[in-house]
Every structure is written in C-alpha cells, then in structure tokens.
Amino acid sequence: MKKALKLTWLIAIVFFVGSTNTVFAQTLKDVFTNSETPILYLGVDFTKNKIIDEATANAMDIRDRQYASINEVVINEAKKYDFKGAFHKSFVDHDLSLVTAMNSKINAEQILSTNTADFHRLKESDIEAVVRSYSFSGKKGIGLLLVAEGVSKSEKSMALWVTLIDMNSKKMLLTERIEGKLAGFGFRNYIASGVKSVLDIIEKHKYNEWKSKYGN
C-alpha cells in the first residue's frame, strides 16, 4: 500500500513538473507564429562593443553614463523604438537590470578603437559566450538581447547581434548580425538611432525571413 502511494505521488510530481516546463518551453516557432507569445526585452549589451575612430570620446563617461542613457531612451520612447511592431507582438515587456549590471563592469580602456577591423570581428560563438555569462535569475520564456559589436564613424553604422534566448535553459535560439545606420546629434541619440534602424530592418525585412525559416 505504501509503495503504491509513493508511486502515485511520484507520478503526480513528474506530471506537474512536465506540465510546468511545457508552459515555459517556448520555441522559435511560437515566437514567429503567435502574436501572444511573450518576449522579454533585456536591453543592449555593450560588453563587446567598440567605438571606432572617435578620438575625442570620453570612455569613462560612455561606460558610466551614456550606455545606461541609451538603454533608457529606447525604453522611454516606445513608439519610436517599436519592438512590438518589429516582432509582431501584442506586447513586449522589458527588464534592463541584467544588462545594466553587465555594462557597469566594462573595462573603459577597451571601449575605444582605431582599428576598422573591429567592426567585423565577432562570431556567433562570441555571442553564445555573452549569453552564458548571464544569470537570468529564474526568468522564464524568451528573452531578447541586443549585443553591440561596434559603432563605426567611417561607415556611420552600428552592428548589433539580435539574439533570442530561452532564459530557462540559457540556450541561444537565434542570433543574427544586423547593421543599423546612425544619424542625429549627441552621443546618446546618435547611438540609439542605430537601435531604431535595426528595429526598422527587422520589421520590414527580417521578421518575414525568420518567420519563413523558423515558423514552419
């Protein structure tokens, strides 16, 4: 009798755990076929970013003030930086706490560069390493992280790796490098314009490409 009772409880526990995992086990297909599949926007990770050929830039100020300001303006001006439109979602929540903590630890001496090759130096494995460096603190579902590779003054472009993550398993589901055009005045607005440009490219071109590839 006791063995039968224990077996019943074991089956119940396995069923409960399996059901719970199913709730959070969202896939790329879910992302690109269901407008209600939630996405949590995590912000722009600047830990690998290089500011190229900006000799007068203040690296300490960039790390301590500008990076946080860029992430904040992207959130505060939601109509301009339209994540819902780009990813065809009814809503996109956000939580900048993880990228804020990571960006604050950047070595300011490594931010500026005079090597144009730094704009094209990262590989997919580098982005996987960035993802692995995060502790998602029990967060579930799909996270959207933008990993900045470089800002090129000569090309007037910003390279971002658009990355979707299963936060439960820390598995990188998708990452793709997209270059956004830069415009505007002031360091914050100049860099943030690259984020907007990338979102526009996703909305107009990349989303349908990804949906065709991952939504079937």
In a domain, 1, yes or no: no
In a domain, 3, yes or no: no
In a domain, 2, yes or no: no
Residue 124 clears pLDDT 80, i.e. is over it: yes
Q: What is the pLDDT of residue 216?
A: 84
In a domain, 21, yes or no: no
Distance between CA 189 and CA 115 in Å, rounded?
24
Q: How many independent structural domains does the chain possess? A: 1
Range of the domain at 78: 26-214
Distance between CA 40 and CA 109 in Å, rounded?
31
Percent of residues in the chain assigned helix, strand, coil, to nearest 5: 50, 20, 30
Q: Give 24's pLDDT tier (boundaries 50, 70, 90).
A: very low
Q: What is the pTM of this model?
A: 0.88
In a domain, 110, yes or no: yes
In a domain, 61, yes or no: yes
In a domain, 198, yes or no: yes
The full DSSP string for 63-88 is IIIIHHHHHHHHHHTTTTS-HHHHTT
Task: Please give the mean pLDDT across all residues of the chain.
Answer: 90
In a domain, 42, yes or no: yes
Q: Give 3's pLDDT tier (boundaries 50, 70, 90).
A: low
Q: What is the CA radius of gyration of the chain?
A: 20
Distance between CA 100 and CA 44 in Å, rounded?
9
Residue 1 clears pLDDT 80, i.e. is over it: no
Q: Give 17's pLDDT tier (boundaries 50, 70, 90).
A: very low
